[in-house]
Structures are given as structure tokens and as C-alpha cells.
Amino acid sequence: MEQQSARLGRPRSERARAAVLHAADDLLVEVGYAAMTVKGIADRAGVGRQTVYRWWSTKAEILLEASADDARQELAVEPTGDLVAELAAYLDALTVFLTRSHAGAAYRALIGEAQHDPAVAALLADHDVIGDSARVILSRALGADTCRRTLDQATASLIGPVFFWHFTGRDPALLDTAALAETCGRQLARRSGTSGGGGSAD
Amino acid sequence: MEQQSARLGRPRSERARAAVLHAADDLLVEVGYAAMTVKGIADRAGVGRQTVYRWWSTKAEILLEASADDARQELAVEPTGDLVAELAAYLDALTVFLTRSHAGAAYRALIGEAQHDPAVAALLADHDVIGDSARVILSRALGADTCRRTLDQATASLIGPVFFWHFTGRDPALLDTAALAETCGRQLARRSGTSGGGGSAD
Amino acid sequence: MEQQSARLGRPRSERARAAVLHAADDLLVEVGYAAMTVKGIADRAGVGRQTVYRWWSTKAEILLEASADDARQELAVEPTGDLVAELAAYLDALTVFLTRSHAGAAYRALIGEAQHDPAVAALLADHDVIGDSARVILSRALGADTCRRTLDQATASLIGPVFFWHFTGRDPALLDTAALAETCGRQLARRSGTSGGGGSAD
Amino acid sequence: MEQQSARLGRPRSERARAAVLHAADDLLVEVGYAAMTVKGIADRAGVGRQTVYRWWSTKAEILLEASADDARQELAVEPTGDLVAELAAYLDALTVFLTRSHAGAAYRALIGEAQHDPAVAALLADHDVIGDSARVILSRALGADTCRRTLDQATASLIGPVFFWHFTGRDPALLDTAALAETCGRQLARRSGTSGGGGSAD
DNA sequence: TCTTAAGCGAGACGGTACGTCGAGTCTTAAT
DNA sequence: ATTAAGACTCGACGTACCGTCTCGCTTAAGA
């Protein structure tokens, strides 16, 4: 019954959807987030302005839809069995993501916008690509039954330094991700080791 | 010689300068960074628009000037001799700064803007309030002669998790800063301890 | 043969036609000509937008079809034998038509539109409801064989003052139609009286 | 005191005002009233859109300001002493105005718009160029002390037929203005003649 | 005291993007 | 083939803010 009403009228144009997402992605790289306008996206995509507004409310939404899949993929790390090596690989992937990737540029712009736009903040809260990617590794290390809060705290410890480094515009070459991975690995080992014994930490 | 030409004409109005900075601060809190406009600042300050443009090029500059002093002050921690206690106090101050303070709101807005505006990024690179405040404590712990790179790496490890937590919109109550301080303290102790022996660790 | 091809497919819906005309009439009164839109008519009529465009090209056409019959009827005056009385009755009917009637509102809107849209002007030239109604009376007074030009000139003299009065937004109460009817009647009498003799007058 | 506040800020640009009025006049002739847009006027005038909206609310206001002076001038008739000749000259001027003049095109467009826009109707009520021009002649014929209502009624009788003829799109060549002038002259003579005796005819 | 030079408020200027609306066209499934 | 529905491209709407410009008016230093 609902299907009937859903199929009424002209269906959404997949061509228009893809053109908008591509245009947004291109414009972000070419002119930057601030100079990106809905008008510019529509014109570049060869699409009416109304068509953009019909499906997305803000340029943030467009950008998120355009980059979320790529981001997820770029931050995936295959399991090797060696925890510290995995962590190092992950932090390197994160560095490349934040400093060189298209999707990463979109993510940085969105996090930036979220600092003064609650709507964007809410949007990102539902699409925690960066947190998700870290939790995959960390739950392998700490066990699948680890509670969410412990996982999040570990995530912050792992990602935080790299995140801070790049968000405050520091030179990517000067950050020693290997040392961070080792430190984090040692910390995790302590935690999972003691978890059987006393479990006094946090 | 320069003084002569510099003193020609009517001198800059201190009244106007202060009014603009106050108006910017108020507006940031009331309407948010995005909805803050130069026109709005000028009107609220009872100042001509040209007067604003004469002394500041962007709203970011205004905001930085309006909040830098406050930020510096809010992030200062008095030395107690107990490293972990100092670190914990600092991380708590940082949390309050990022989540509750006026100046912190300005800082978050500026870091956000810096993600897509190189001019703001450059501005912040010259006013590293948050890095400066951390280095004060860390150089006490590691010694005044510690090299800048080591100091920065330690800064990232200390601040990063808290920074990440709040910039990704997580619940302030769920972050265990005491644990972070202790972890960081242990790591610093290891480093300064071995520095006398081999000093090989990064 | 033509009948076969003419009967192919779904026949035109009389329901849709009537609904569109009623909707147009209602909207003219409720929101005025300028705020009347094809989209609005279609929605109000519960009809697809394309259905409107298939049968009418402009809202003027719709309005004309919706009101022409009513207009013709409202401007008909039954013969009484007394010329001046007929003229006065006609001018009063014209006044009511132009100032109070639904159909009159449509007519005014169309004449207005015709001033800057040649298509509407052409449309109205083919549907001279107001001229037709006057000629019925005047040809009774001047004889059925009166030439068209004389008839049109007389029509202008009869209708013109009332038409001008209302199109320039003057107060309906202040126009003395009885005096106009009498003047016009005297003029017509002079013309038909001399027509037997010399017939020199214009 | 009021003068002081009136001189605050940058004064209005006479260049911009003139450019807008010229652009409006040109566009009316080139593309017609309906296709005339505020955007088009602003672009053609080399003026910001806001500048147009700052001084005029609608394109009707612009058009009125652009044409009122010309209209007044084109409809003036110099007194000759011969009433019928004056009336004939006036009706010919009116015909040229309504069918060939720039200002007349603007006037027709405005009267048209007034049929479905009360704001335009109100605007025209305050600038009755056509009525004013007729009253000048008629008050010469009927005496300067003639009451307004009598004057208006005579105005309608004089102008009405010509107005009707052209507003309903009839062929200008087929209207006998000389006959209308004579008829009207005779009517006026009767009225001023009897006004001394019985004065029963309003 | 009188000039000169710069800062001040106000506010109009030419631009450009905003988000909305209506135009007229096109593409579905259902009749 | 026509219907209702509704997405499509296009472009004007009126508003807001941009950064610049012209005004008349301070405000002080230097002649």
C-alpha cells in the first residue's frame, strides 16, 4: 500500500544525484569549503538549484553523503595479528586521510563547521566514521565484549594526538606515529593483562 | 621620523576598539560564529562599518584579539610539584575551556574556520595558546632544555585525547581525565628516567 | 476513419475540464489575477499540471472560457421599446458587471493583461463580449442595416464613459448613468432622424 | 535639525536614479511590461538590485516615475478660443499618446496592472495624468467654478470613447475623433447655456 | 589661531548567494 | 491516449551581507 504511493510520479533522477555529489567533491578541493555555494554546486552539476534543495538541506549534508563511503574505506585496516603494527598502520592511514585525501578534506571541513553549527554536529554524531574505524581495531585488542566507554576512552587516546596535530595545522612530517602506536599498544596490553587480575585502571 | 607621520591626524579611538571586541564576543555567544557578520558587529558596537575594516580584515582576527588574553589566563596551571596532579588540573582546565568558556568557544570556532581557511590557519599558527599552555607544564617535567620536537610530541599526547573528545562532540562527563593524566605522567616519567641512561626512545 | 483515430486512447475527462474552470473562477476572486498560478489552479482542481497545459496555453485562456458565457448573459438587456430606458438599464448592468460580477472581474483582468500581452489582446478581439452586447441594443435603435463602423462608433460613445470611469478606479456611486443614457439617446435620435433625409452625419 | 539627519551618510546617487528610469523605459518598449523584471532593470542600468529596491517597491512605481512628466507634457493642449477645435486637438493627442507614445505605453501597462493590483490602482489614483489634462480644457469651457463631480462626468464623456476604443484593441484609424469632439462640444454648450436658466441637467 | 591629515558615524553603492516560488517539460504507473 | 503525481531545468523573486565609496563631523599636531 505504501509502495503504491511511493511509486507515484516521476522517480528521482540518479543522474542528478551523482552529478551533485561529484560537483560538491570537486568544488571542495578546487575552491574550499567556505567558497563552496549551493548555487555553484548546482551550476557545476548541470542541475536546477531546486533539485539540490529538494534532497539536501545544507552543503554539509551533501559533503557528508559524498565522502562517507570513501572515508570508511580509507580508514579500514586489515588484521595481521600484530597489534602494534596494526595501530601504526592505522595511524598512518589516519594521517594520510586527514592531510591528503579528498574524503579527509571533507571530513575536516565538516568537523570545522560542527564547531559552530549544531545541525552539522548532530549530523556527524550519527556518522562517526573515524570513531567506528578505530573501534574495529581496538575491540580486536581488548575483546569484543569490552564496554563502550572503555572503548571510546581508548579511541581518544589512540586518535587524539594525531587528530590534534593535524587540526592545529602542525607539520605532518614531524609527528612520530610509530612511537604513538607503541605507547598505545603498551597501554592496551597493560589493560587487557590486568583485566583478569585486579582491573584497577579507570 | 616615522613617529611624525604616524601621529598625524586623529588618533585611533580606543572606545571603538573595545566596543568592537566586546560586540564580537557577545555575538559569538548569542548567535554563533556562522551567523556573526561584520555588519552585525559594527551595528552592535555602534561603530561605522569602515572602522571595523580599517583595523581588522576578518571576523576571525577580531575574535582572536578578543579572546587570546582570556584563553591564556584560563589555561594557566600553578606548579605544585606533583606532576600527575598538575596534568590532571590542566586537563580539567582544558575541558572547562573547550566546553564552557567564552574564550574557548571563540577558539573552537577559529580552529573550525582554520580547517577551510588558510588565512585563519596562519593566524592561529602564530597564536598557539593551547600549545603554549601545555609546554609550560611539560617543560617543567622534562627539563627546560628538552628539544621542541619532543615537547610537541608530548603535547599532542597530553592534549590530543581531550581535544578529540570535544571536537567530535562527545559527552564531557564521560571522559576520564584522571586516567589520561596518570597515563601521561607514567609515560613522561619513563622518558625522563631513561634520558639519563641511553636516551634512545624517540 | 477519422473517428477511429479520434476515439483512440482515453477520452478527455469532462470532470477535469469543469474542475479547472471552477478553480480558476474561484481563485480569481480569492487571490486575484496576479497571484493566480497554473500550479494553484491544478492543485485546487485536483488535476495534474500537464492536464491544464494540454488544453489551455495560458491562464488568460482558462479565465476567458470560464467567464465568457456568464458575461454574455449578465450584459443582455430585454427590449422594452423605450430606447433611453433600455440604454440606462444597459449602462447599469455594465456598471454592475464591471464592479461586482465574477465574470466582470475576469474581464477586467483580461483587458488589463491585454495591454501588455498581444496574445491576450488577440484572444479578446475574438470574444468581444462587451461590444456584442452593446451592438444588440444599438442596432435595434439605428436599424439592422446600419454599417459596422457607425455601430462601433456609437458603441464607443455609449460604453466609453462607464468603461473609463471604472478602469481608472473612480467611485461607482458618483457616476450618473441616467444622464449618459439620455445624452446618448438624444444623439442616436438625431442620427436616425437625419438618416432618412441626407445621412450626411459621420 | 531635520536637515542634519537628512545629510547623514552618502547621498543618493542621481546617476543611479536616472539610469534606472531610463532602463525601465527602454525595457518596457523592448520586451513589454510582463517580461520586464527588476533584475533586468538593474542589470541594464548597471546598478545593484538592492539600489532599485531601496527607492522603489515595484516596477509600477519605477514606470510611473519614468513616464509621468512625459505624459503630462504630451497631453497638454494650448488654448485657441475655439472649444470644438481644442477638444478635437486633445482627442488626437490622446490617441497618439495611447497608441504611439512611450509614456502612453507605460500608462496603458499601469492601468492594466491596476485592474488586478490595488497598490498600483492607489498609485494611479494619486497621479491622474489623463484626468488632469482633460479637466484643464473642460474647466475653461464650463467655468473655473464648476464643481468637481460635473467636471469628472464631462471628463468621462470626453475621454471615455477614445479610452475604450484603444483599450479594447480597436483599429486607431477607424475612430472619428472629430465627430466625438463636436458631439461633446454641443453637449457642453447646452450645459453652460442652461446653467444660467434652469440648471436641471447635472 | 588656523590649517592639515586622519579617524569617526552613517549610509548608499555595485555585487553575489541565499532559499523560495512558479514556469513549462518530462517520466512514471494506472486507467 | 489521457490521467494524477511529482521530479526535472530554468530563472526571477526580495533579502542579507559583502567590501567600497562618499558624505559631514571630530580630534589633535604642527604652522
pLDDT digits (tens, 9 = 90+) for A54-89: 999 999 999 999 999 999 999 999 999 899 999 999
Express each pLDDT in A112-134 by its tens digit. 999 999 999 999 999 999 999 99
- Enumerate helices (H) and strands (E) in chain B, giving the number of each: 11, 0
pLDDT for res D159: 97
| Helix, strand, coil percentages, rounded to 5, for chain B | 75, 0, 25
Q: Which pLDDT score, from 0 to 100, does residue B194 have?
A: 59
pLDDT at B3: 44
* Inter-chain CB pairs, A–B, below 8 Å: 128
Q: CA–C1' span, D1 to F27, in Å?
A: 23
- Identify which of A175, A146, A174, A169 has the alpha carbon closest to the alpha carbon of residue A88: A175
From CA D199, how far away is CA D202, in angstroms rounded?
7
All residues of chain C having their beta carbon less than 8 Å from the beta carbon of residue D163 are 160, 163-164, 167
Residue C180 sits at the chain D interface (C-beta within 8 Å): yes
Chains A and D physically touch (3 or more Cβ atom pairs below 8 Å): no
Q: Chain E: nucleotides under 7 Å from a protein CB?
A: 4-31
Percentage of chain A beyond pLDDT 70 is: 92
* pLDDT tens over chain C, length 202 residues: 344 444 567 777 899 999 999 999 999 999 999 899 999 999 999 999 999 999 999 999 999 999 999 999 999 999 998 999 999 999 999 999 999 999 999 999 999 999 988 889 999 999 999 999 999 999 999 988 999 999 999 999 999 999 999 999 999 999 999 999 999 999 888 876 654 333 333 3
Single residue among B56, B82, B102 that ends a domain in this structure: B56
Amino acid B6 CA to nucleotide E11 C1' distance, rounded Å: 29
As a whole number of Å, the end-to-end CA separation of chain C is: 55
Say if B200 falls within a structural domain: no
Question: Looking at chain B, which residue has its C-alpha nearest residue A179?
Answer: B202
Q: Does residue B20 fall inside a structural domain? A: yes
* Chain B hits for A160, Cβ within 8 Å: 156-157, 159-165
Question: Nearest residue (Cα to C1') for E24?
Answer: C53
Measured in angstroms, the CA of B131 and the nearest CA of chain A are apart by 9
Tell me the residue type at D194: T
Q: What is the pLDDT of residue B193?
A: 63
The residue among D111, D168, D183 with the most chain C CBs within 10 A of its CB, best to mutate, is: D168
Q: How distant is C1' of F10 from CA of B28, in Å?
A: 38
CB-based contact (8 Å) between A179 and chain B?
Answer: yes
- As a whole number of angstroms, the distance between CA A56 and CA A125 comes to 18
Q: Are residues D72 and D122 in the same domain?
A: yes
Test C174 with D149 for CB contact under 8 angstroms. Answer: yes
Same domain, B49 and B113: no
Query: Do C37 and C115 belong to one domain?
Result: no
- Within chain A, residue ranges assigned H as helices are 2-6, 14-31, 38-45, 49-55, 59-74, 83-99, 102-114, 118-125, 129-142, 148-167, 177-196
Same-domain check for residues A97 and A153? yes
Same domain, C29 and C99: no
pLDDT reported for residue C4: 44
Chains that touch C (3 or more CB pairs under 8 A): D
Reduce the DSSP state of residue B23 to 3 states and report it.
helix
Chains that touch B (3 or more CB pairs under 8 A): A
Q: Does residue D68 sit in the same domain as residue D50?
A: no
pLDDT of residue C189: 85
Strand E and C61 CB separated by under 7 Å: no
Say if CB C119 and CB C60 are below 8 A apart: yes
What residues have CB less than 8 Å from A54, skipping those under 6 apart?
none
Q: Do C99 and C51 fall into the same domain?
A: no
HSE value, Cβ hemisphere, 13 Å, CA-based, for A124: 26
What digits encode the pLDDT tens for the residues D1-35?
Answer: 334 455 789 999 999 999 999 999 999 999 999 99
CA D85 to chain centre: 22
User: According to the model, what pLDDT value does residue B8 have?
Assistant: 85
Dihedral sign of CA atoms D6, D7, D10, D15 in order:
positive
Which partners does chain A have (≥3 C-beta pairs < 8 Å)?
A: B
Contact status, residue C21 vs residue C62, Cβ threshold 8 Å: yes
pLDDT level of residue A189 (50, 70, 90 thresholds): confident
Gap between the Cα atoms of C171 and D127, Å rounded: 16
CA of D65 to C1' of F12 (A): 23
- B34: distance to nearest CA of chain A, Å? 6
> 538590485: which residue's cell?
D49
Average pLDDT of chain D? 91
* Structural contact between residues B47 and B19, judged by C-beta atoms closer than 8 angstroms: yes
A170 and A152 belong to one structural domain: yes
Q: Could you tell me which residues come within 8 angstroms of residue A202 by beta carbon, excluding any fewer than 6 positions away?
A: A150, A153, B176, B178, B179
- Positive or negative: CA dihedral C82, C83, C87, C88: negative
pLDDT category of residue A142 using cuts at 50, 70 and 90: very high
DSSP state of A172: G
CATH number at residue A48: 1.10.10.60
Same domain as D177, residue D85: yes
- CB contact (8 A) between residue A168 and residue B124: yes
Answer yes or no: is pLDDT of A200 > 50. Answer: no
Q: What is the DSSP code string of D3-52?
A: HHHHT-SSPP-HHHHHHHHHHHHHHHHHH-STT--HHHHHHHHT--HHHH
Are A167 and B130 inside 8 Å of each other by CB? no
- For residue C11, give the H/E element and its range: none
What pLDDT does A202 receive? 39
Collect all residues with Cβ–Cβ distance below 8 Å to B64 and sequence separation of at least 6: B106, B110, B123, B124, B127
Tell me which residue of D148, D111, D150 sits closest to D129, measured CA to CA: D111
- Show Cβ contacts of residue D164 under 8 Å, excluding neighbours closer than 6 positions: C156, C159, C160, C163, C164
Q: Which helix (H) or strand (E) holds C41?
A: helix C38-45
Q: Say if A129 falls within a structural domain.
A: yes
Strand E–CB D49 distance below 7 A: yes
The predicted structure's pLDDT at residue A3: 44
Domain assignment present for residue B201? The answer is: no
> How many other CB atoms are found less than 10 A from the CB of residue C12?
11
- Helix, coil or strand: residue B66: helix
Provide the domain count of chain C: 2
Q: Which residues of C touch D114 (CB under 8 A)?
A: 112, 167, 169
Residue of chain B nearest A130, judged by CA positions: B168
Tell me, yes or no, whether B93 lies in a domain: yes
Using 50, 70 and 90 to split pLDDT, how confident is the model at B198? Answer: very low
Query: What burial letters (b/e) apply to D47-73, b meaning 16+ CB within 10 Å?
Result: beeebbeeebeebbbbbbbbbbebbee
CA distance to A85, A151, B130, B172, per residue, from B108 (Å):
33, 25, 11, 15
Residue B162's nearest CA partner among B92, B76, B100, B59 is B92
Closest to B33 in 3D by CA, of C189, D191, A116: A116
Q: Are residues D132 and D83 located together in one domain of the fold? A: yes
C-alpha A73/C-alpha B79 separation (Å) is: 46
Q: What whole-number distance in Å separates Cα of residue D200 and Cα of residue D202?
A: 6
CATH number at residue C116: 1.10.357.10
Rg of chain A on CA atoms, in Å: 20
Q: State how far the Cα of B41 lies from the Cα of B43, in Å rounded to an integer.
A: 6
The reply to whether C52 and C70 lie within a common domain is no
Contacts made by residues C101-106, CB under 8 angstroms, sequence distance 24+:
C101/C70, C101/C71, C101/C74, C102/C25, C102/C28, C102/C29, C102/C67, C102/C70, C103/C67, C103/C68, C103/C70, C103/C71, C103/C74, C104/C71, C104/C74, C105/C28, C105/C29, C106/C25, C106/C28, C106/C63, C106/C64, C106/C66, C106/C67, C106/C71
- Pair C86, C79: CB distance under 8 Å: yes
Residue C13 lies in a domain: yes
Nearest to D183 among C165, C170, C187 (CB): C187
Span D73-130, pLDDT tens digits: 999 999 998 999 999 999 999 999 999 999 999 999 999 999 988 899 999 999 999 9
User: How many beta carbons lie within 10 A of that of residue A197, not counting itself?
Assistant: 7
Q: Is the CB of A20 under 7 A from strand E?
A: no
C-alpha cell read off for C68: 465568457
**Interface membership of A153 toward B (CB under 8 Å):** yes
User: How many other C-beta atoms lie within 10 A of the C-beta of residue C188?
Assistant: 20
Residue C193, pLDDT score:
61
Separation in Å: F27 C1' and B68 CA? 31
Statement: residue B61 has pLDDT above 50 = yes
Nearest Cα residue to B169 out of A37, D117, A152: A152
Range of the domain at A99: 64-195
Identify the pLDDT of residue A97: 98
Does a structural domain hold residue D179? yes
Indicate the residue among C56, C85, C100 that finishes a domain: C56
Please list, in sequence order, all residues whose beta carbon lies within 8 angstroms of the beta carbon of residue C40, skipping any fewer than 6 positions away.
Answer: C23, C27, C31
Q: What is the DSSP letter of B10?
A: S
CA-based nearest distance A175→chain B, Å? 7
| pLDDT band, residue B201 (cuts 50/70/90) | very low
Pick the closest to residue A132 from A191, A196, A199, A73 (CA basis): A73
Cα–Cα nearest to B46, from B75, B26, B76, B72: B26
A132 and A39 housed in the same domain: no
Q: What is the CA radius of gyration of chain B?
A: 20
Residue D1 lies in a domain: no
**Predicted confidence (pLDDT) per residue in D132-170, tens digit:** 999 999 999 998 899 999 999 999 999 999 999 999 999
Gyration radius of chain D's alpha carbons: 20
Is residue D124 within 8 Å of D60, Cβ to Cβ? no
DSSP summary character for residue A101: -
Across the interface, of C32, C125, C175, the residue whose CB is closest to D116 is C32
Residues 13-52 of D with CB under 8 A from C: 32-34
Rounded to an integer, the average pLDDT of B48-64 is 97
C-alpha cell at B16: 571603538
- Nucleic strand E near CB of residue A59 (< 7 Å): yes
Give the confidence band of A190 by pLDDT, cuts at 50, 70, 90: confident
Rounded mean pLDDT, A46-53: 98
What pLDDT score was predicted for residue A201?
39
| Protein residue nearest nucleotide E15, by CA to C1' | D48
Q: Give phi and psi for A100, each to the nearest 5.
A: -125, -25
**Protein CA D7 to sugar C1' F23 (Å):** 8
Best CA proximity match to D170, nearest among C129, C98, C152 = C152
Chain B residues 29 to 68 with C-beta below 7 Å from nucleic strand E: 46-51, 54-55
The spacing between the Cα labelled CA in C30 and the C1' in E12, in angstroms, equals 40
- State phi, psi for B129 to the nearest 5 degrees: -55, -45
